[in-house]
Structure 1
């Protein structure tokens, strides 16, 4: 079994293995004017395929890049050439560290071996490792997707009271309401009782995950026990996955994703909202 994080050295040695699938899961906020697909076609790790977070989503949900049905996800992976039993390595070249989202999605729908390339494309390129352009050819595959609903929590359950801590991965100013949400029609602030742990605190400057001791310290600073169950939330269900990965690295798989996150909660006039820092 692969480790949750794999190094650039490890991946360079494994490239070309018939059971290895490398996926570029980059996604960028619209305001950046960056096209992840175009950047992938111009430069990617040899043999990689593009995992399109926006396309592989529920477009009828009313909120950004929500988890798709198992049927849609399985068909998308099959078309991409990805099988359940492949050794899958995901990476990104995004400030949002979107490979964590792909890692969650693949595991959620039944992939058995999924790892994140620690440091992503940025570290790979800085080290002078090979890249290529273009799009990959056909690869025969079958992905039988089965969702694991216990990994996800919905707004109605949160409103009833889930009994576990909500940890918000947005930046401090968006969490407090000092900074408006980048999406129109969404109120400022956060869920009552939520703690704030920005996803960026999980990474070093080079994009690699911090050490276990550093991760524990970051959770402790936010007054969150990373060994206990919690709900991860963010702006639209992307960066929250970094907190889920971090907890997994510390041995905790009793976490749940609020997929609608603040895009859903903040747009509903009936949900309670508070502003200011966490208590």
Structure 2
């Protein structure tokens, strides 16, 4: 007997097979190279999630229009966020997140790779956000767009960009609360110390109170019991590429962070962006960590 398969079913089989092959190829890591992205362009989605600090007076969305990986989509962590709080880029509701991906036509049924134009700032947060909603098949381009350019791959510099070919049906998602910590959680942990809070703010003087915060009027210092691991220490000579796992292991151990401990790790920073870079580094070492979403701006408010 001959069985006829609908073309959409065949496409689904092919996509799942391709995804399984890609997962095996990256060997459980989140970081991928520019060459890997280029070789798998037909099987993945590429997303620019660059973010700049307010005082830098730069427009990441506008910059994307004139310098981007061909076919990439811009994801704004300030807009795909909880817009009803006074804190910046906090995690949105599950439904708003799903609707946003639908509007942006980001296809989560295939692997998604995030990149940034300024080292890890922005794309680590986007990577973590997707995982916080149960979307695990997500990766980050090590070194960002500069690594892409250095590898000799093309950049689209035209202001007019093509829209994605078709709408992407985004299934319902659930926010995983285990990925997030609140002010109440952090406050309780000061007494219990059941979790280790790792502060990613850079330079370290913001942690010990010897240097000011970049936001006017905000005091520096740290949450009692937390440890400092500046996110800038995680890159290879500030190239935007993450240090190798062996070097990351030495670095976190030097800061008193035991990745083999049963104590959970929570990362923090100024507003929950660069803390995601530490979470990304820990993931490369095989450790999942939560993020104190409001971070320092929430703690000192």
Per the TM alignment, residue 84 of structure 1 is displaced from its structure 2 partner at its CA by 2.8
2:282 maps to 247
CA contact 1:227–1:247 (8 Å) conserved in 2: no
Aligned partner of residue 39 in structure 1, secondary structure: helix
Matched, 1:265 2:299: yes
The answer to whether structure 1 residue 9 and structure 2 residue 41 are counterparts is no
1:55-93 superposed Cα distances (whole Å, 9 cap, x missing partner)? 111121111111111111111111111133221000001
Question: Could you list the per-position Cα deviations for residues 145-196 of structure 1 after superposition, in whole angstroms to 9, with x for gaps in the alignment?
Answer: 2111111111111112261111000020111112222223422210011100
Question: Secondary structure at 2:99's aligned position in 1?
Answer: helix
C-alpha separation in 2, matches of 1:211 and 1:64? 31
Determine the C-alpha separation between the residues in 2 that align with 1:45 and 1:158.
39
Name 2:151's counterpart in structure 1: 127
- Indicate yes or no: 2:132 matched with 1:105: no
| Distance apart, 1:210 and its partner CA | 0.7
Moved over 4 A (4+): none
Listed as ranges, the gaps of 5+ residues in structure 2 are: 1-19
* Partner in structure 1 of residue 256 of structure 2: 223
Aligned residues: 264
Deviation at 1:96, TM superposition (A): 5.2
Structure 1 window deviating more from structure 2 (20-29 vs 129-138): it is: 129-138
Per the normalisation by structure 2, the TM-score is 0.84
Give the whole-Å Cα distance in 1 for the aligned partners of 2:40 and 2:188. 47
Unpaired stretches in structure 1, ≥5 consecutive residues: 268-279
Which residue of structure 2 lines up, in the alignment, with residue 277 of structure 1? none
Give the Cα separation in 1 of the matches to 2:104 and 2:201: 31
1:256 pairs with 266, 290, 296, which one? 290
Partner of 2:56: 32
| Alignment-derived partner of residue 190 in structure 1 | 222
2:212 counterpart residue number? 180
Counterpart among 147, 154, 157 of residue 185 in structure 2:
157
Q: Please report how far the alpha carbon of residue 223 of structure 1 lies from its aligned counterpart in structure 2 after TM superposition.
A: 1.1
Q: What corresponds to 2:167 in structure 1?
A: 140
Which range moved further: 3-12 or 90-99? 90-99
- Alpha-carbon distance in structure 2 between the residues aligned to 1:48 and 1:91: 9
Kindly state the Cα deviation for residue 95 of structure 1 after the two structures are TM-superposed.
Answer: 4.6
CA RMSD of superposed structures (Å): 1.5
CA distance in 2, matches of 1:11, 1:227: 31
Structure in which a larger fraction of residues adopt helix? 2
Superposition TM-score, scaled by structure 1 size: 0.90
